[in-house]
Amino acid sequence: MSDWKAFTVERTGHIARVTLTGPGKGNAMGPDFWAELPQVFGELDSDPQIRAIVLTGSGKNFSYGLDLSAMGQTFVPLMADKALAAPRTDFLRDVRRLQDAVTAVAACRKPVIAAVSGWCVGGGLDLIAAADIRLASAEATFSLREAKVAIVADVGSLQRLPGIIGEGHLRELAYTGKDIDAARAQQIHLVNDVYPDQEAVLAAADALAQEIAGNPPLVVQGVKDVLEQPRVGRIADGLRYVSAWNSAFLPSEDLTEAVQAVFEKRQPEFKGK
């Protein structure tokens, strides 16, 4: 078994619990997260003892999303004046690497149940969109936040959420970047059920994982494979398109303003430049 910097993995019988641990505040997604995520789910996919996976966050929150302070260097070459083919190609490669990390969750043959408490923002939403089933505690808050920081979401939410919450709800969340609570998330079918607190949602996720694990494992994996088949090509095409789009159009004065506003803890002033 591997030692991880951004996760803990606990195996109990046929169930694995994968817990985000940071090291960024609020389990923010830094370099270790992106490197380890596909490895974690690759190991669990190949472990014949594991039949279902519970995915959750340590502490009070699921994830604050991308760790801007740790991952900011990814954007710097692209923001330079007259950024030509080389930095844009490097950025395209980096985005597709992040996309592949999240896709490893969706591609895992074992059903993945996300148990969400606290904040689930940006990349956190990308991650749970790749899970099979999502449960939430009553205080959970969700946000497709990228538009507020002058970024087109490019790691999977725009591709996977249409099949989960529908086009209208997705467009509302993506265009506004608004926060929604657990009750609204259940209403739009982002989560199946809402539980009183973090302990209760974890217990419910464990119980559901045990129920899944009680069925013939190869049949369950076959069901997942059949359900995924109509979506795989569409999602892959969408991910390739948005990565190319951002490589061409992401650099902007608005993005610089958004990042500065985050670090200066103020409201940004966007000018469409």
Q: Encode pLDDT of 5-34 as tens digits.
A: 999 999 999 999 999 998 889 999 999 999
Instruction: Please give the C-alpha separations between residue 245 and each of 73, 175, 196, 250, 256, in angstroms, as whole numbers.
Output: 19, 17, 41, 8, 18
Portion of the chain with pLDDT greater than 90, in percent: 83
**pLDDT for residue 79 is more than 80:** no
Q: 188 by DSSP, 3-state: which? A: coil
**pLDDT for residue 200 is more than 70:** yes
The mean pLDDT value for 232-241 works out to 98
Query: For residue 89, what are its two tokens?
Result: 């190609």
Query: For residue 132, what are its two tokens?
Result: 């099979």
What per-residue string of b and e applies to 136-146 under the rule 16 or more CB within 10 Å gives b? bbebbbbbbbb
Q: What interhelical angle do 31-46 and 85-107 show, nearest 10?
A: 40
* Residue 220 identity (one-letter amino acid): V
**pLDDT for residue 80 is more than 70:** no
- What pLDDT is attached to residue 262? 78
**pLDDT for residue 90 is more than 70:** yes
Portion of the chain with pLDDT greater than 70, in percent: 98
Mean pLDDT of all residues belonging to the chain: 94
Query: For residue 90, what are its two tokens?
Result: 């490097």
**pLDDT for residue 1 is more than 60:** no
Q: Model-level pTM?
A: 0.95
